[in-house]
């Protein structure tokens, strides 16, 4: 089974991390130097788990509910043109800032902030938007952290306790602050308050519904991989708040979501965790070598 696991793990990793993923992993985990987060920290525990596949889907779906965030994506990036490229860039940023050295993490943050400065435009009503707007960054951050944590608590191999959940939010806030978020939430209660405060601004535009439809129906994957993607998508949709379903034209099937979808999502994340375990072991070995004390 080892060759099968390695082959499956490589294919999943290539899709998520892009063609340069192996080199990036070696650079992120193998470069010596201080890091923001210890290997046993909550953010490492969450971001290293296979539940991030479901959390990432949920985050993208939820983020479409903010018209300005969706307009920025539609005008400057889009999901249809480079869906997997966007995923690879996002996953590498998360990996660098979570697992990489402080120097590499700060380089990645400077690069993202530079991109954000160039992403500007106008809403249909004439209101300007900017990706560097701290308010818009706060929405993107809150949607991501809420999604990653919820997916981990639902499908993660080792869910966090209450104090651990607060610690995860606080650790994620460190990166958010450096990206330009003003006073990011540092506890689950604060995170929920931020999400509640955004509710009056949220609605599903035609661009949002188009993006969701594309993500659900056109994943640009080989036929053999589409059933697994469909399971992950269904699990991500099942974690979406009920109030987002009708606006985004997503189904709400509470009984099926609690039974069939939950079981399939658990099976899918378990399979991904198994398939990628060899890569995780390699990353742990690289990091252990990079952070080991120098010989006397």
Convert 155-193 to b/e letters by CB count within 10 Å (16 or more is b): bbeebbeeebbbbbbbbbbebbebbbbeebbbbbebbee
pLDDT for residue 4: 46
Please say if the pLDDT value at position 39 is more than 80.
yes
- Greatest extent of the chain over all pairs of C-alpha atoms, in Å: 66
| pLDDT higher at 237 or 267 | 237
Report d(CA 17, CA 206) in Å as an integer.
30
| pTM of structure | 0.85
Q: Does a structural domain hold residue 39?
A: yes
Please give the residue range of the domain that contains residue 266.
2-291
Confidence of residue 276 (pLDDT cuts 50, 70, 90): low
Report d(CA 160, CA 196) in Å as an integer.
23
Q: Does a structural domain hold residue 217?
A: yes
pLDDT for residue 259: 75
Average pLDDT over residues 60-68: 95
pLDDT for residue 218: 73
Q: In total, how many domains does the chain have?
A: 1
pLDDT for residue 268: 72
pLDDT digit string, tens, across residues 65-124: 999 999 998 888 756 655 566 677 788 899 999 999 999 999 999 999 999 999 999 999
Q: Does a structural domain hold residue 231?
A: yes
- In the chain, % of residues over pLDDT 90: 56
Q: What is the rounded average pLDDT for all residues in the chain?
A: 84
Residue 285 CA neighbour count, 13 Å, CB half: 6
| pLDDT higher at 221 or 59 | 59
Report d(CA 161, CA 87) in Å as an integer.
29
10 burial level (CB within 10 Å; 0-12, 13-18, 19+)? middle
Q: Does a structural domain hold residue 250?
A: yes
Report d(CA 97, CA 160) in Å as an integer.
21
Phi-psi region of 181 (alpha: psi -120 to 50; beta: other; left: phi over 0): beta
Q: Does a structural domain hold residue 137?
A: yes
pLDDT for residue 46: 97
pLDDT for residue 274: 64
pLDDT for residue 29: 84
- In the chain, % of residues over pLDDT 70: 77
Confidence of residue 293 (pLDDT cuts 50, 70, 90): very low
Q: Does a structural domain hold residue 133?
A: yes
| pLDDT higher at 269 or 134 | 134
pLDDT digit string, tens, across residues 171-215: 999 999 999 999 999 999 999 999 999 999 999 999 999 989 888
Q: Alpha helices, DSSP H only, in 18-101?
A: 21-30, 42-47, 52-63, 67-76, 83-99
Average pLDDT over residues 226-242: 87
Q: Does a structural domain hold residue 105?
A: yes
pLDDT for residue 266: 84
Using DSSP, state whether 174 is helix, strand or coil.
Answer: helix
Using DSSP, state whether 150 is helix, strand or coil.
Answer: helix
Q: Does a structural domain hold residue 296?
A: no
């Amino acid at each position: 089974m080892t060759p099968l696991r390695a082959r499956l793990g490589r294919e999943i990793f290539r899709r998520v991390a892009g063609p340069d993923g192996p080199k990036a992993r070696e650079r992120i985990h193998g470069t010596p130097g201080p890091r923001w987060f210890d290997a046993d920290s909550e953010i490492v525990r969450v971001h290293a788990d296979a539940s991030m596949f479901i959390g990432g889907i949920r985050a993208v779906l939820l983020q479409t509910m903010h018209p300005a965030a969706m307009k920025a994506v539609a005008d400057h990036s889009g999901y249809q043109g480079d869906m997997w490229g966007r995923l690879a860039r996002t996953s590498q940023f998360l990996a660098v800032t979570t697992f990489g050295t402080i120097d590499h993490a700060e380089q990645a943050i400077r690069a993202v902030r530079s991109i954000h400065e160039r992403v500007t435009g106008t809403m249909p009503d004439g209101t300007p938007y900017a990706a560097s707007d701290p308010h818009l960054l706060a929405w993107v951050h809150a949607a991501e952290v809420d999604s990653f944590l919820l997916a981990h608590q639902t499908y993660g191999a080792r869910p966090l306790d209450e104090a651990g959940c607060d610690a995860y939010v606080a650790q994620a806030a460190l990166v958010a602050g450096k990206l330009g978020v003003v006073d990011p939430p540092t506890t689950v209660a604060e995170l929920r308050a931020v999400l509640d405060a955004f509710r009056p601004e949220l609605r599903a535009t035609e661009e949002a519904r188009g993006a969701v439809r594309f993500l659900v129906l056109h994943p640009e994957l080989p036929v053999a991989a589409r059933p697994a993607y469909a399971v992950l998508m269904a699990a991500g949709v099942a974690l979406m708040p009920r109030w987002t379903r009708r606006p985004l034209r997503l189904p709400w099937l509470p009984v099926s979501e609690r039974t069939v979808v939950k079981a399939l999502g658990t099976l899918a994340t378990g399979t991904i965790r198994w398939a990628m375990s060899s890569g995780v072991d390699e990353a742990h070995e690289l990091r252990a070598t990079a952070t080991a004390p120098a010989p006397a």
